[in-house]
Amino acid sequence: MQEWTDNQTQVAQAHKLYDRGQWREAAALLRSVIRSDPHNASWYFNLGLTLSAMGDHSAACQAYKSASVLTPEDVETLNCLGVSLTRLGKYAESLATFERIQNLDSNYEPSYCNRIVAYTEIGRHDEAELMFYLARQLVEDCPLCYFNIGNSHYVRGNYAHAIDCWRQTLRIDEKHGQTHSRIADAYWARGNLPKALEHYRAELAITGQCEETLQDIAEVLREMKLAAPKPTRTGLRSLCQKLKTKLSPR
């Protein structure tokens, strides 16, 4: 009984560490309680979430698989596993996992939403669109679905369609991460540099300082001949900081 209480205390502490972004410490605590009791699926699941936040998707997959062995019909665990497999580029295994979810619960919308990404990555865009419309039958508005199908249109060069999809994402969630940047990418690809600049600035308003976005702004300004020639690697950070001051929305 004392061991169970100690484990619960450590798990609660791991949750607090996770919320503070101290993922390595949270993972260490979760691994400790798992060693003392390897039969609790929720602890493996929480470890998987923590490892995913750290970007260690290979280890996250193992944690989710361990959780799934203990609770084989838990669709949330399977969904997280499928997402991690996609991030590892294991698309066949990822798609099989999402199809398993569909067989368990055909009304679980994330299994369709997340398949859009896998199908896009392997160039099966018709099936990506099918997943999008199947998801819409379950949930009318999903910002991530619109974001994902926008990426499918973008890689096909359908920039206007991609922009329309990403605008739908922002309609549903005006602060959805990376969406303004993706719209900017599409405008840049179409040669509309002022609109690209506008949306990169909007992304900064949401995310604050982001070196990648600042670099994109620097490159757009260079192309618009409003900035000095492309900076050297050593001078880029200084220029980006100046650009942030100049371009930050009021």
pLDDT at residue number 8: 84
Give yes or no for residue 233 having a pLDDT over 70.
Answer: no
Q: What is the mean pLDDT of residues 214-218?
A: 92
Q: What is the DSSP string of 139-203?
A: -S--HHHHHHHHHHHHHTT-HHHHHHHHHHHHHH-TT-TTHHHHHHHHHHHTT-HHHHHHHHHHH
Q: Rounded CA gap, 36 and 27, in Å? A: 14
What are the pLDDT digits (tens) for 83-142?
999 999 999 999 999 999 999 999 999 999 999 999 999 999 999 999 999 999 999 999
pTM of the model: 0.84
The domain limits of the chain are: 160-250
Token digits of residue 19: 């919320």
What are the pLDDT digits (tens) for 68-95?
999 999 999 999 999 999 999 999 999 9
H/E element holding 204?
A: helix 193-207
C-alpha 238, offset from chain centre: 29
Q: What is the mean pLDDT of the chain?
A: 90
Place of tokens 């691994």: 31
Pick the CATH number of 160-250 from 1.10.260.40, 3.30.470.10, 1.25.40.10, 3.40.50.720: 1.25.40.10
Indicate the burial class of 215 (C-beta count within 10 angstroms; 0-12, 13-18, 19 or more): middle
Q: Rounded CA gap, 243 and 74, in Å? A: 48
